[in-house]
Amino acid sequence: MRIVSFYFENPTNEKYKIFYKAFLNSVKINMPTIPLSFIKLPEPRAIPGVPLSLLHNYHKLIVWMDYLNDDTIFIDCDTVVLSDLTEAYNDNFDIALTKRKRKKLLNTGVVFYRPTGKDFFNEWYKWNKVLMKRIMSGKKYITINQDALRLALQHQEHKFLIKILPCRIWNACNEDWSEINRDTKMIHYKAGPGSIRHEALSNKKLYEINPKFRNAIRILRNYASYETARQNETRAIAVD
């Protein structure tokens, strides 16, 4: 069992360090016995007509493909882990994914993997490459990783056991940010319309922040500034 995450190293993106500092501290505090592979990558080579956000999204799966021999939790580094995510493995599945209650798209901020799902990942990776070729030829996509996942699920040659977990608990984002409580296992500070990202990167005092984001940003800031020497304390830092 291991956790795998990564980020793109870019001196112009210093402000984003709050996310991976909070992520790393949260994993050390709440999953201290699970090995973590945290990979620093150079920015991908620019491709004319392809937004940088899609290039990042595309490379996500490329990184993951090197870690398919063991049970692995793949996690975006703009997250905070609030409790032991290995509890997901109490259930039977090849791949476990999270889904928002108001959206059809699955979210890949966290993916729970067993080696029995390796062929599914190969299919997912194949569609990832197909969509990048389409994007380079002028077709428009908002995401690539998630759309490739949707196509892999639709066209899978073998039926894999895919478990769907609620984002509200396992990958809280968007409509969940105002409902974080002690059942919440992970918060995802994802970008996008109406997202928390802008507020999280601001220098606003906590009382100045939109009330629906306030608790989630308090948690982020606490973990980002948490001293390593105190990492064995309880998760009381996280939720009121």
Pairwise CA distance, residues 20 & 82, whole Å: 14
Could you report the per-residue pLDDT of 140-167, keeping only the tens digit for each?
Answer: 888 899 999 999 999 887 789 999 999 9
Could you report the per-residue pLDDT of 193-211, keeping only the tens digit for each?
Answer: 678 998 999 999 999 999 9
DSSP letter string over 59-103? HHHHHHTT--SS-EEEE-SSEEE-S-GGGGGGS--SEEEEE-TT-
109 contacts 79 by C-beta, under 8 angstroms = yes
Where do the domains of the chain lie?
2-237
pTM beyond 0.75: the answer is yes
Reduced to 3 states (helix: H, G, I; strand: E, B; else coil), residue 240 is: coil
227 pLDDT band, cuts 50/70/90, is low
Question: Domain spanning 2-237: which CATH class is it, in words?
Answer: alpha beta
75 contacts 3 by C-beta, under 8 angstroms = yes
Structure tokens at 157: 């040659």
How many residues belong to the chain? 240
Could you report the per-residue pLDDT of 126-136, keeping only the tens digit for each?
Answer: 999 999 999 98
